[in-house]
Structure formats: structure tokens, C-alpha cells
Structure 1
Amino acid sequence: MSDWRLLITRALPGADTQACELRRLGYHAAVLPLVAIEPLAETPEQQAQLSQLGTYRALLVVSQPAARLLLARLAATGRRPPAEPVFAVGAGTAAVLQEQGIDALWPASGEDSEALLAMPALHARLARSAGRVLIVRGQGGREVLAKGLHSHGASVDYLELYRRACPALEGAALLQRIQAERLNALVVSSGQGFEHLRAVAAEHWPALARLALFVPSERVAGLAKAAGARHVFVCAGAGTAALAERLAVSAAP
């Protein structure tokens, strides 16, 4: 058993899945979601986008919640998924799509916007013609991805299916959970997840800032360090494989 004792803070059901995978690898992993996924009501514009998926040059799905909600929308209305492979930000997102028979491609290395933009298959798709690209996501985010797509001559539409809410949780309860299970590391899966951690911790943040913090990108690491986090470990994405790879080469306190 590893000396790392982790608190997984991403939204359900991904948090439970990641914790189970980490336990199989020999890590103690507790779950306390600090991000709640709230589906958004479907708008007429979104209905039009879903009915015209086949007209987009490429469809990019940038999170597991986005993949699940896209599948639910398609199933509820009897619409067909796109014929060409969908581009997913990582293996976890691709797996959600593949479980429902949708062909999905994802970066061989990395699970972020930069890795997605570097995919040769995406370059080849965009090279056929400029066309429109649809990014399936939650509210906000992925501006780097949109900017990169624009540089390839593509126009970008967004299909926003959910918002990320901060659950009602007291900072004292968060700290007590960490102390009770002798946890020595926190795991966040996004910039917004880190902001929720800060918001929940409130006056207890200085105590939590002394713990190891595993983050999915340099951008989130910058947010954490600016807020006073002392021991920040950058993973190559938010997936379990990226986290496990970083844990394996990082000494536990």
C-alpha cells in the first residue's frame, strides 16, 4: 500500500470511479465531491445543433459529464450520433462514448486542450475544409481550445449541457474528514474544482494549503500557487492514468 492518502474532489460519478481505480493500484482514496453537475434545460438553439450534428466538420467532447449528457439528449429524442469519430479530451471521456457505440478518438499523450489540438487526426479532419466545429462542454472554459481551432480556420459553436455548482459543505467538515482519515493529498480535476475547494475551505484554507495538491495542468497549478498552495504536483490531465503516473514518481510526505 502506498503512503499517499488522497481526497478525490471531482464530481460524481467520476469521483467514485477514480477512487476505485486508485484503490486497485494500492492507494488510499477517499471521495468528497466539491463539484456538482447540474444539467441545463435544452434550448431551441441546442435542439437545432443536435439535429445537425452531421453538418459539423468535427465534434469535440471535453468532459465525461458532457459525454453522458450528450448521450442522454440523443437517446431522449431518438437522434442519431455522428457517423464520423468524435474527438474526446481523454480516455475516460472516450470510454463513456464508446460504451454507447460511438467511435471516439483521444490524445495519445495528455488530457487537455493542448493535447487535443495536437492530434494528427483532428488536423487531418480540419484540413478537408474550414467548416464549423462543435465543442460539447459545461458552461464556460476551453478558450484555449477554441483559439487553436480558430487558428486552423474553423468556426466554433458551443453546446453547453451543464453547470458546475459548489455543494453546501462547511470548511470545518472538510478539515475534519481529512484529519480523521489521515489524508495527505488533495486531488482537483479542473480550475473550477480548485476554486470550489478554496471556497469550501474558507478560513481553513491555510491548513489545507500545506497538503500536497495534485492538479491536471500548469494553468490550474498557477491558480493554486497564487492562492498559497505549497506543494503542487502537475499531472498530464485529470484522468486516473495521469494521476497514477505522477503519484508513482512523487514521494509522499
Structure 2
Amino acid sequence: MNGWRLLLTRPHDESAALASTLAESGVVSSLFPLLEIEPLSVDDTQRALIKRLDQYCAVIVVSKPAARLGLALLDQYGPQVPAQPWFSVGAATGQILIERGLRVFTPADGDDSEALLELPALREAVACPAAQVLILRGEGGRELLAERLRLQGANVDYLELYRRRLPDYPPAALARQIEAERLNGLVVSSGQGFEHLHRLAGDAWPRLARLPLFVPSPRVAELARAAGAQTVVDCRGANAAALLTALREQPVPVL
């Protein structure tokens, strides 16, 4: 896979870990974090939700930051050994929970809400009368999970643990880095990450839109195409293995 020179846009620590994995396969990468995680202050609502965790028939965790911050709250205020099944959007998030000894279910195919909703274990968990589900996530975000689960008769609560913000960059910093390092591919890990990419690109977007853009799901692919991205590659997952598979199947562009 020599020849790829990718822009990685996840939060810094995640991008650094991904860059190390990619380097083992001969892929060059450059870090330009488009998301910064800002934990929310712990309030009475958060504490109350964690303290009554045993009332929920399922707990869904949508990201790695949600997993880490949620487990920290659990250590302080929650039951020692949660009994209900936990569900994660993505294998990496699931691994964080598994390492804490929780009973975790993760989609085998796809790192998105749609794949999670197809899990038989989740359907079984919410099948009981007056089922209650807790979703650990960042501030705001998609409502698809809650909407679908409510249609199945479940009551859904959110435990919002952090907000994502765009780091401060000088004007045109994104385009300058891509050009200076002769990057030939862009990687985003979420819809919000793509929105930040599009915003920061500014007047350079028509030029950057010609580069292959690697995204984690059909939903993000749709956002990118609607904004004018010309070569959108749906990796069907946000992990390194999914990206490497997509890179092997996609020809390296000639700049």
C-alpha cells in the first residue's frame, strides 16, 4: 500500500494510534485533529442516572470517550457489577467495556447505529414490557437509536458526558498542510468530523473534494457526496482494519 499519504482527523490521541498502525502497512499519514473532546461537568442528573443504572435493561455506548467517561462515573456512583447487557457502536469502544468485565455486544459488520439496531441481543433486551435503555454519548448527536428503540416500546434516557468542539486553527491551515505534505487521501470518522473538514476547507474545498475521502458509514458517505466530494469510500467501519481494507481496494491517485 505504498503511495498513500493520508490526512487523519480524529482527536489527537486516536489519530496518533491510527497513524502508528497504518505505518506498519507502509501508509504515510499526517495528523490534523478536527475534533477535540471536552468532558462535561458532572451534575446531579448524571449522578442520578448512574446511581439507578440497575433499572435499565440495556446500556448503549456510542463512542470511546463515552465509554471512558461513563466508566469513571460508574466507579464513583454506580453499582459494583452492572448486570445488564451493554452494547457498543464499534469494536474499539466495546473493547474498553470488555476490559472492565462487562457483558458487551458489538455489531460484527459496521460501526454505526444501523448495524447496532440489527443485533438480536439488543432486540431481545428491549423486548420486555416497559423496557428502559440508557445511551451514553456526547452532547447532542443523532437521534436514530432512541427513535427506533422507542418505536419498539422502550423508554430511552441519555447520559451526555462530553461535547466535541473544533480545535482553533489559523485560516487556510487545513489546505496548506494537505498541499505542503502532498497528501492524497482524507479520512474522517464521523459526520461531525466531515462537517468540520468541509467548513475549514473554505475556498479550497472544490480542490480538496477531488481527493479520495474515506468515511466510516453510508450516512457519512451521503453527507460527503451531498457536499460535492467526488470519490467517497465507505469503509463500513471506523477502525484501522476497515480503513486498511478500503485502502487496498482503492487505487492511489496520481496528483
TM-score normalised by the chain length of structure 2:
0.93
Residues 31-60 of structure 1 show CA distances to partners (whole Å, capped at 9, x for unaligned) of: 211100111112211110011111101000
**Count, aligned residues:** 253
Which amino acid is 1:55 matched to?
A: Q
Quote how far apart the aligned CAs of 1:128 are. 3.3
* Letter matched to residue 10 of structure 2: R
Give secondary structure in 2 for the equivalent of 1:71.
helix
| Aligned residues of 2:111 and 2:217 also touching (Cα < 8 A) | no
Deviation at 1:133, TM superposition (A): 0.4
Within 2, Cα distance between the matches of 1:72 and 1:177?
36
Name 2:220's counterpart in structure 1.
Answer: 220
- Tell me, yes or no, if structure 1 residue 200 matches structure 2 residue 200: yes
- Give how far 1:76 is off: 4.0
For residues 126-141 of structure 1, the aligned pairs below 5 Å read 126-141=126-141
Q: Secondary structure at the match of 1:157?
A: strand
1:152 is matched with 152
State the alpha-carbon separation in 2 of the partners of residues 85 and 28 from structure 1.
Answer: 39
- The corresponding residue for 1:69 is 69
Letter in 1 for 2:63: S
Of the structure 1 ranges 35-44 and 201-210, higher mean CA displacement relative to structure 2 is found in 201-210
Matched, 1:186 2:178: no
Aligned residue identity for 2:48: A
Equivalent residue, structure 2, for 1:29: 29
AA of the residue aligned to 2:211? L
Q: Is the Cα contact below 8 Å between 1:53 and 1:81 reproduced in 2?
A: no
Aligned partner of 1:104: which letter? V
Q: Within 5 A, what are the aligned runs for 1:96-135?
A: 96-135=96-135
* Aligned position for 1:86: 86
* CA–CA separation in structure 2 for the residues paired with 1:223 and 1:78: 38
Q: Which runs of 5+ in 2 are unaligned?
A: none
- The alignment partner of 1:34 has SS state of coil
Distance 1:127 1:25 in 2: 44
Q: Deviations over 1:137-185 (max 9, x none)?
A: 0012231111221122111110110111011113422222212222111
CA distance in structure 2 between the partners assigned to 1:172 and 1:185 by the alignment: 18
Moved more, 228-237 or 78-87: 78-87
Q: 1:130 to 1:12 in 2, by over 3 A?
A: farther
Q: Which residue number corresponds to residue 40 of structure 2?
A: 40
C-alpha distance in 1 between matches for 2:182 and 2:120: 44
**How far 1:126 sits from its partner (Å)?**
1.6
1:170–1:200 contact (8 Å) kept in structure 2: no
Q: Tell me the amino acid that sits aligned with residue 84 of structure 1.
A: Q
Counterpart amino acid of residue 234 in structure 2? V
Unaligned runs of 5+ in 1: none
| Change beyond 3 A, Cα 1:142–1:80 | farther
Cα distance in 2 between the residues matched to 1:202 and 1:59: 39
Q: Deviations over 1:70-104 (max 9, x none)?
A: 12222344753522331011111011222333332
The one-letter code of the counterpart of 1:165 is R
Code of the residue aligned with 1:42 in structure 2: it is V
The aligned counterpart of 2:6 is: 6
Structural RMSD (CA): 1.7
Provide the residue aligned with 1:247 in structure 2: 247
Rate the CA distance shift 1:205–1:44 in 2: closer, same or farther, 3 A: same
- Structure 1 runs (4+) deviating above 3 angstroms are 76-79
Question: Residue by residue, what CA displacement relative to the aligned partner does 1:188-245 show, whole Å, maximum 9, x if unpaired?
Answer: 1111111111222222222211211111122212221222211111121222222222
Alignment of 1:152-171 (within 5 A): 152-171=152-171
Mapped to 1, the partners of 2:185 and 2:174 lie a distance apart of 13
- What secondary structure does 2:26 align onto? coil
Instruction: Provide the identity percentage.
Output: 53
Counterpart position of 1:142: 142
